[in-house]
Structure 1
């Protein structure tokens, strides 16, 4: 090429990344532009605008954009509109900006189409017109503008200039994300991962979701980092890996993601994915709390209250419970109420305790419901109201609070705030007892013992009383005030069982019975002297104390029979009558106690081999065993 026009054509056809800008290049653009080459005019304007190969000069840029636009260069039309819109190289003029955007758009410039739609949306240089917003975003999107694709999706989603259409909204949003993600846009990568994850028409492809989330995270998108940690935590789209959970959570936290900061604190606190480190947990809870994260405020308060990762400080605990409560954390509301009630980090104030219990209860905190009921029951911070106390006990019990179940049962048993109903009292004591609430276990035993709200069942009474007494310090003293022997005044070692007195009572009766077998006599006497509760007692039962003896089954040694023992087994000592209380009434209707009998021929010849089997049965079962004379 020999003339200047051909040289200019060579320069402006080269890709920008390959063009080494030199002064002679600018000279060729000038000559070609002055000779009427519209492409050279546009290229020269760009050089003046960006200061490449020459000094930056916005007025000259505007001049050559205008010349190129007037000569029909659609890219220059869009650039000229930008000059008018931003007031670069000329006075700001939104009407002229709109005019040139429209010219460029009508000539097929997709960026100008996007900008023209924005003018209609914002009312820049023209009246707002949602139909034309939609029209030009759609034109731009159909011409490949990825940002227009996203805006078109929003038009469909929110009904901007067109009826709402979630399917088309998804199509354009997904298509834009895909195109932009493939071109390295980390925001688009993140959104594309969300599309795949949420299964909005993409087959719920978790592997694709994981892939794009990982790509976005590797491009330092803090939200993607946190979500990538979640993929590893749940094992979605990849194998579960707690170390990688911790790694990406830490990356996201360092990059300022508040959710990641909070999770990182929890990982340090629980030793999940890393070694347990309460100091680091405290550090991250504090950072997140100071950023206004209400759950972190609550956890930070707990650290201060319990001295976890920092020195115990009830004043600071109270401060952060208050901050978290004021920000809507219901557990913090409950703890703040406790601070006021128990004078922790602040002055005792029953009215404020009641206020915060009520706030927490109304948004579903079960413990607060129970505590609010106590406020109404005892008139603390509010007027006494047994009906409201019952209401909140019931709400808390239905919400799974074991103490509330016990308190609700007491209401039903005593008719407080509700009509007395022993069957419902039994039901709620049983629910609480099965949840290992000791007081309820003890009260349930009393109902079984007295046949209140259920059939009398001394075996179950014994069972629940024994369970309750395993942690008797949790049972109110007034309930177990009779748990000592009336004669020696020592505490019972089990339900109404005095290890000091009961062996003596058995020994006094030794001369009044015999099985006529030295092994059996010795065996029964040892069992009676060493018994630590009524279940471990063995007795010699005369046959005339049995009724309704009927065949039942075939056993290992002999035939098995079923019968009614009229007296029933020993339960406890009756000091007033100076005799044993017996289980002669197994429920409210049947007199006597059902027993299983084995027929043993010539029992006087039985030896230790047989008695060893009995010992084994005693060891394996809590049920009472009895020895009965030959039939």
Structure 2
């Protein structure tokens, strides 16, 4: 990346050193660039100060980063020139905290709000997210929507990139590596990027390493004020907020879905995943498993969204929208398991192995799911011990697993415990406990329990009449 600086016809004090600093920066000679930016800053040159502060934040030309001195420099730019970039960087430094800069949420709110009012798009996105999530203390969805809608409906879509949103600083990306450009696009579409975190990661990775070059490019991208930097994330958050409205109208739901789709089309993997779920469940759209699969695959392809692997595997497991394929389902589940644990995934894997009569593997995955609190899996383990699938028969262990599942309100487990007490667990029949479990099972929706409840109540009435 190179910055083409257009000096004014009548240069201001410090402009010449600013131009020299940018020239050295373009050659990746950060030490000399820093010297010229610092000299420009001594003239209270607006962008000399801003570049100097940024170099302090990034640690360019230094043996270590100096966030505290960067903060003081940004405050000077903000007070002298009401510079929106400086306001934003101060706000993020306070919001996250950094070396020798204690976190201060109240100050962060003040500075980021100022940057948003001055038109810095990422600040608007931050305000929207913070209000919707309660990050500034009290959640306020109405204010959050106000700022997010400003981002979404902003029409500043320059095809040419300008650093700080200032046309004096045009960015030339023609010589930038495609891998770097792709990384920038993917990362900025996934979330609102913190320039402070990015600065720290760039320095830690070494600015001249392959990762450092990517972090450097991402950082400068956050300094462009182009809408695309936070558009996809703002569309995702706004669409989600609309969908979570309890009294959402049909028109507003359509608007929410349209926003989520745009976010997905703009490269946000979580938005693609959300749209996939809506199509799978038929929420706000006609149920369409094939469309759900298409969005899940898009989510996976964008940045390997882990939850998309689970969803794709689930559709192959059920055969919804695709030809049922247990081997493909297992492949996606196994890949998912490298990154996360999910009881539903373990349960589906166990069911696949059970269908294939590999009871030992089935028992293993039912155990994993049950350990994570999956009631149906605990019930399956109880049945395995009762029947002897993959393990030695054990009435005691079967009863113990059924109790765990019943405590999690599994109606099948409650029914089975009722049967065990009715038939005589450990040789002793207990109709009182049996009736209790059958009634719980019926209450939780297991219809076959109704017959046993009636039977036991009838038998009890006969006993009460001494018949």
Give the alignment of 1:285-324 within 5 angstroms.
285-290=296-301, 292-324=304-336
Tell me which of 105, 116, 119 is aligned to 2:52: 116
Q: Indicate the residue corresponding to 2:100 in structure 1.
A: 161
Measured in 2, the distance between the counterparts of 1:394 and 1:274 equals 40
Measured in 2, the distance between the counterparts of 1:134 and 1:411 equals 70
Q: Indicate the residue corresponding to 1:131 in structure 2.
A: 68
Q: Indicate the residue corresponding to 1:222 in structure 2.
A: 232
Answer whether contact 2:13 2:45 (CA < 8 A) is retained: no
Deviation at 1:236, TM superposition (A): 7.9
Tell me which of 190, 193, 214 is aligned to 2:128: 193
Deviation per residue, 1:70-106 (Å, 9 max, x gap): xx82232233223334438xxx360x43333223223
Cα 1:357–1:273 shift into 2, 3 Å:
same
Whether 1:247 and 2:182 are equivalent positions in the alignment is no
Which is further off, 201-210 or 258-267? 201-210
Tell me which of 420, 427, 430 is aligned to 2:436: 427
Q: Indicate the residue corresponding to 1:282 in structure 2.
A: 293
Q: Indicate the residue corresponding to 1:80 in structure 2.
A: 20
Cα 1:255–1:395 shift into 2, 3 Å:
same
Whether 1:340 and 2:353 are equivalent positions in the alignment is yes
CA-based RMSD of the aligned residues comes to 3.7
Q: Indicate the residue corresponding to 2:116 in structure 1.
A: 177
Cα 1:205–1:443 shift into 2, 3 Å:
closer
Deviation at 1:216, TM superposition (A): 2.1
Measured in 1, the distance between the counterparts of 2:325 and 2:439 equals 40
Cα 1:436–1:114 shift into 2, 3 Å:
same
Q: SS of the counterpart of 1:180?
A: coil
Q: Indicate the residue corresponding to 2:88 in structure 1.
A: 150
Deviation per residue, 1:599-623 (Å, 9 max, x gap): xxxxxxxxxxxxxxxxxxxxxxxxx
Deviation at 1:413, TM superposition (A): 5.2
Q: SS of the counterpart of 1:380?
A: coil
Cα 1:372–1:203 shift into 2, 3 Å:
closer
Measured in 2, the distance between the counterparts of 1:400 and 1:304 equals 28
Give the alignment of 1:174-573 within 5 angstroms.
174-181=113-120, 185=121, 187-199=122-134, 204-219=139-154, 221-235=231-245, 241-290=252-301, 292-326=304-338, 327-343=340-356, 348-411=357-420, 423-450=432-459, 456-457=460-461
Cα 1:174–1:421 shift into 2, 3 Å:
farther
Deviation at 1:368, TM superposition (A): 1.5
Answer whether contact 1:336 1:356 (CA < 8 A) is retained: yes
Cα 1:178–1:370 shift into 2, 3 Å:
farther
Gaps of 5+ in 2: 155-227
Q: SS of the counterpart of 2:442?
A: helix
Measured in 2, the distance between the counterparts of 1:134 and 1:391 equals 61
Q: SS of the counterpart of 1:251?
A: helix
Measured in 2, the distance between the counterparts of 1:175 and 1:237 equals 33
Deviation at 1:361, TM superposition (A): 1.7
Deviation per residue, 1:191-219 (Å, 9 max, x gap): 22223323555975534422332332345
Deviation at 1:419, TM superposition (A): 9.5
Deviation at 1:237, TM superposition (A): 11
Measured in 2, the distance between the counterparts of 1:417 and 1:252 equals 60
Tell which has more relative contact order, 1 or 2 (C-alpha 8 A, sep 6+). Answer: 2
Measured in 2, the distance between the counterparts of 1:188 and 1:83 equals 29
Number of residue pairs aligned between Structure 1 and Structure 2: 383
Deviation per residue, 1:155-194 (Å, 9 max, x gap): 323243233322222322333233234xxx3x33322222
Deviation at 1:388, TM superposition (A): 4.2
Measured in 2, the distance between the counterparts of 1:167 and 1:388 equals 56
Answer whether contact 2:75 2:86 (CA < 8 A) is retained: yes
Deviation at 1:357, TM superposition (A): 1.0
Answer whether contact 1:304 1:311 (CA < 8 A) is retained: yes
Measured in 2, the distance between the counterparts of 1:306 and 1:123 equals 53
Cα 1:175–1:374 shift into 2, 3 Å:
farther
Deviation at 1:353, TM superposition (A): 0.8
The structure whose residues are more often helix, as a share, is: 2
Largest Rg, 1 or 2: 1
Deviation per residue, 1:55-81 (Å, 9 max, x gap): xxxxxx9xx99xx8xxx8223223322
Q: TM-score of the superposition, structure 2-length normalised?
A: 0.69
Measured in 1, the distance between the counterparts of 2:23 and 2:263 equals 40
